[in-house]
Structure formats: structure tokens, C-alpha cells
Structure 1
Amino acid sequence: MANKVKQIKWGIIGLGKIAHKFAQDLNTISNCELYAVASRSQMKADEFATKFQAKKAYNSYSDLAEDPEINAVYIATPHAFHKEHSLLCLNKGIAVLCEKPFAMNLEEVSEMISVAKAEKVLLMEALWTAFLPHFQHSLKILKEKTLGDITSLEADFGFSRPFDDNSRLFKKSLGGGSLLDIGIYPIFATLSILGSPHHIEAQATFFENGADASCTVTFHYKNGLTAHLKSTLLEETPTEAHIHCEHGTLLLNKRFHEPTSITTLLNSTTNTLDFPTQTFGYNYEIEHFNQLLRDGKTESDIMTFKISEQLIRTLDDVRKVINLKYD
């Protein structure tokens, strides 16, 4: 007789736009449930709980962390609070899936990882792209060198929004701006494919409040490879990743960071592979996290602590080049 699969009870802290998508995908997965949600507003918590069938709705993050029924928490608050809210849950023995960026800088990320290790509690950065089938398949193609060795890489992420200093997206005190919010995706993709650069060049434009409006980055590698990356809140861009190789090109199509198709161009032949999904795509990281929890693991083998540290260290390095400092 098979062992009964553990029913995992989830909590969500921070109930913004991304939390809605996460909750919807969570509800498509068997053997887990959205058990509790927390907002600073009781009305918002109640509305969210009703919409996604959560049993508990809290107006306090600490109250949710005190709930003994909860096995895992998804942290979806603004960037500047990721460390605080992750530690709140880790110190209660609750497994934490924290939205990207893991925290504001390497020092904060290192503290989170240290606490998770000391408490022997599962902690993972919710960088969902790492778990998407098209991205995993792309890494496989590149590793197998079907197209030969990589010669260069380009990736971008841009959209246009009217500036609003009251919006999390633009508020510098919350880690707003293009780099941490969307620039993280081209940078993560590049690190996954090419590793850490030897040298970084970068330029940025800034809003009046000091948050970065756009950022262009060039990664230089010792073997002569370059990666040209861009993030912007000022214009719509293709939001694609092009990996040029000796014999062809691999293209991660529009909105490459979320479920999409990939196209290979080899010997004048174009081949597009689709990866259809009925969800937003958050289910892949949730299912991975659930399995880690059931297996008693305290670290992901896909989104490892080393990868999260490499990512935030690189973001810190880019910020130094463009002289972007947070409070």
C-alpha cells in the first residue's frame, strides 16, 4: 500500500498581483491547499481568502506565522521586506518560498540562508523561470551543444508604465525600479547559461526619486564572450533571449521569463517548440517545493543557495557600476 502523500498547507504573506496568480496555480495542484493568507488590511485578506478558498484570513503577518497548521509560506511582499518576512517564518519552523529578488543585497540573502540552515528549515527563492519547461529544455539544448559553442547572448525585458511614486514598482524605498523588478530575469538567464562574468559594464537612467528607469548591462567573459542585457520601465521591448552559437541561434520567444515557445535556427532551418500550459506557470516551482518539503530537504537542487547568492551578488555588482543605492 502506497504511503499517503502529505497534504501541505500553504500560507501567503502579501496579497498583490503576483500572489493572485500564485494562488490560482496553487489551487490546481493536488495534495496541497491554500490554508491562510495575510495582508495589512483585513478587508483585503478576507476578499483574497474568499476568492481562493483559503480557510484563514489574517490582518497581521506575524499572526499567520504563529498558525501551527501552516507547513509552507509564499512571501510576496515588496522586495525591501523579503528578509524580514522570511525570517519571521523561518524562525517559526515554517518552510519559505520567497519571491525574487530573494532580498535587497547579498548581506540580507546570506542572513536568510544562515537562519534557514541553523533552523534546518526549507528556504528557496521563487524565481519561477528556473522551473519552466521551455527554460529547462533550452538549457539542455545548450549543454548538449546541438548548435555548437555559444558565441554571444542578448536578452531584454521592458514595458512602459506612467511613473507613480506611490506604486511599489517605482518606489525606491521598496526596491522599486527596473533592475530588481525585471532586470533580474535577463541577468538570471545569462548566469544560468554563461555563469558569472569577468567584468561588468552598465549604464542607467533614473526617475526623479532615484529609482532606476532603465538599465543596459554588458557582461564580459574571459573567453571573449559578451552578453548584452537591458531592462526598462520606459518602453515596450521584445522581451526575448537570443543565444547565438557557432552553427545557429536559440531564441526564447516573447516574454521569455514566463511560459513561452523556443525557436532554433540551424542550417537555414527554423524549428519552433511550444510548451503549452493551462496555468500561469507558477505550478512548476510549487510542485518542486512541495516535493522538497515531503522529502525533508532544506535546499532546492535547482534553485540552490549558491545560485541565489550568485544572482544577488551580480545585481549588487551592477548597482555599484550604475551607483544605485537603496536606503
Structure 2
Amino acid sequence: MKKVNKIKWGIIGLGNIASQFAADLLLLEDAELTAVASRNFTKAEQFGEKFNASRIYNSYDLILEDKEVEIIYIATPHNSHAELAIKALEKGKHVLCEKPMALSYEDAERMITASKKHNKFFMEAFWTRFIPSIQDVLEKVKSGAIGNINYINADFAFYGSETENKRLFDKELGGGALFDIGVYPLFLSYILLGNPKEIIAKAIMHQNKVDLQTSIILQYENAQSILHASIVSDSEMKASISGTKGKFHLNSPWYIADGYSLFENGVEEAVFSLPALGKGYTHEAIECHNCIRNNKIESELWSHQNSLDLSKIVEEIKTQIGLSFA
């Protein structure tokens, strides 16, 4: 039997998303969780034991010095993404950084510059881009299956508790609806229609000066996107992509859709089922492996420029709604 050459991962920040990501890594025969790091050593020990990590660190600096680790997955709060990613790249590590990659366009540029300077792979962890159903819908849209896109509608909303989800309401940690979940509907519009000609955004703010809910219109030459994000209300979390010949409905929750439907003249014509492997983080990890093995410093599916474009859109919305992390 041929020996599998495993990509060796390290994880910084061991919260809920990191747990889901680590569980998905176990599903990939060419992935190994080599090391984990948390400033809480007990937490790091428990995490490492659960997901079979070889080494445990109570220091972010120590994991970056580990010669065995090839790629670092950064899953800390948003406000630390930029500095940790840049430091990891400087230490010769490849980096997969949770979204949003940074709290400002300026920091996003610094991260991309570091990737290029040190010739190391860097990708924003926009896992939705690699989900099978999303990939399939994008291919069908490109092939003209529903004609020219003229309308996109997508939201991401849930009830957040200030007691249980303190990070969401913490300005210092980059909290609020826009940066935590608003980037998802913005991503869908961007990946289908590109950069908008005009952005209109309105928000309801918390007393802590983070946005509780934000509604956005993206204006294109021949299309509009109506998008919404909220951490204080629920929604069906469906997404629709309408064109001149028909429309696609992504199953709820659309950002991890296990399939979608095609409608023509208001009638459901076809249903497609494309479940993800595991939770779905597997697919972005597979993309990282492919890029590293092919000596690429960015993904063609979610490139450096894609991340910068989305960051610039978010920056404009941030300005319009009066959101600041300074």
C-alpha cells in the first residue's frame, strides 16, 4: 500500500469553529493535526486529546516555532487575525485564516503582502466557496443555465445571547453582525456578480457600538443584491439567485447547503443533492493541500484578490454604518 504523504496542521485558537474544523481534518487521510495552541493550557490539552494532536502548546509563539507544522489554521477572534497570520507567514508557515481575514482593508493588504514576500500559501477560510453545492451552482450559472443574473437575495441571521455569545457583542474582539456573518451574503453576491457599482447599507447599532443587524443593497449595472445579517433575529437562511431564464434556490442554511433547486417560470424543475463531506470544512482543507503540493501561494477558487475585493466592500459598509474598531 502506498504511504500517504500527510500535510501537517497546527491550530491556533481552540473554540467552537476550531473543534468543527479539527473533526473534519480527521476525515482526510492526507491530513494530520500535529499541534494545537491556546493560552489556556488545560483547554489545549483537552482539545489535543480529543483530536489526536501530537503536541500541545500554551503559547502561540511556540507553535509557530514547531518545525513539523506546515500550515497554521487561525481560529482566534477577528481582532487577532492579521498579526497572527503575518507572524506565521514570517515564520515560514502556510496559513488558513478564519474569515473575516481582517477588520480593515489595510490589514488585509498587509496579510497578502506577507504571503507574497515569504512565498507561503495564504487563504481566507471562506469554506462556503468550496462546498459542493455552491461549486455546482456557480458552474451552472457560468454556463448560462438561468440566463443573465439580475437579482440575488441572501441573509444570515440568528438570535445571539449577550450572555452566551459575548464575543459577538464585544467591539474589541471585532463583534457585530457585519463582520461575523454579514460577509457570507456579501460573498455570494461578489462571487456571482463581482464588485458592485454602488453600495447602500443601514444598520441598527448596539450600545457597545457594534451592529446588531445590517441590511445592504448592492447595485450592479443590470442587477441588484438585497442582503441582510442579524445577531438579534432569526431567518430561514435561504438564498435565491434569479436570472432571465430561471432561478436557483439554495437549501437552508444556504452557506452550507446540501443541495439546491432549479425553478423555471415559477415551477420547480429539478432538485440537486450534493452533501458535503463531514461538516464541510474538509473541502477548504483539501484546497489548501492541493495548493501547497503544487507550490501555489493562493487558491484560484478564492484568491488573494477575491479576499481583498470582499474586504474593500466590507470596509465601505463599515464606513456607511459608522462601525469602527479603533
TM-score, length-scaled by structure 1: 0.96
- Unaligned stretches of 5+ in structure 2? none
Shifted more, 25-34 versus 255-264: the winner is: 255-264
Number of aligned residue pairs: give it: 325
Aligned to 1:23: 22
Rounded Cα–Cα distance in structure 2 between residues aligned with 1:145 and 1:31: 36
1:230-309 paired onto structure 2 within 5 Å: 230-267=228-265, 268-309=267-308
1:275 to partner: Cα distance: 1.0
- SS of the equivalent of 1:103 reads coil
Instruction: Map Cα deviations across residues 185-210 of structure 1 (whole Å, 9 max, x no partner).
Output: 00000000111111111110011111
Contact 2:261 2:268 in 1 (8 A): no
The percent of aligned pairs where both chains have the same amino acid is: 37
- SS of the equivalent of 2:301 reads coil
1:252 to partner: Cα distance: 1.1
Contact 1:6 1:294 in 2 (8 A): no
Contact 1:259 1:281 in 2 (8 A): no
C-alpha RMSD of matched pairs (Å): 1.5
- Unaligned stretches of 5+ in structure 1? none
1:67-216 paired onto structure 2 within 5 Å: 67-164=66-163, 167-216=166-215
- SS of the equivalent of 2:168 reads coil
- SS of the equivalent of 2:214 reads strand
Rounded Cα–Cα distance in structure 1 between residues aligned with 2:166 and 2:67: 34
The amino acid that maps onto 2:83 is E
Instruction: Map Cα deviations across residues 20-77 of structure 1 (whole Å, 9 max, x no partner).
Output: 0000000110122001000010000000000000011100000100111110110000
1:265 to partner: Cα distance: 0.6
- SS of the equivalent of 1:111 reads helix
- SS of the equivalent of 2:256 reads coil
The amino acid that maps onto 1:82 is H
- SS of the equivalent of 2:166 reads coil
After the TM superposition, which segments of 4 or more aligned residues of structure 1 sit over 3 Å from their partners? none
1:271 to partner: Cα distance: 1.8
Question: How has the CA–CA distance of structure 1 residues 18 and 33 changed in structure 2, closer, same or farther, with 3 Å as cutoff?
Answer: same
Aligned to 2:56: 57
Rounded Cα–Cα distance in structure 2 between residues aligned with 1:293 and 1:276: 26
Aligned to 1:43: 42
Rounded Cα–Cα distance in structure 1 between residues aligned with 2:119 and 2:290: 16
- SS of the equivalent of 1:193 reads helix
Rounded Cα–Cα distance in structure 2 between residues aligned with 1:165 and 1:255: 22
Rounded Cα–Cα distance in structure 1 between residues aligned with 2:115 and 2:146: 40
1:156 to partner: Cα distance: 0.4
Contact 2:8 2:31 in 1 (8 A): yes
1:309-320 paired onto structure 2 within 5 Å: 309-320=308-319
- SS of the equivalent of 1:302 reads coil
1:149 to partner: Cα distance: 1.3
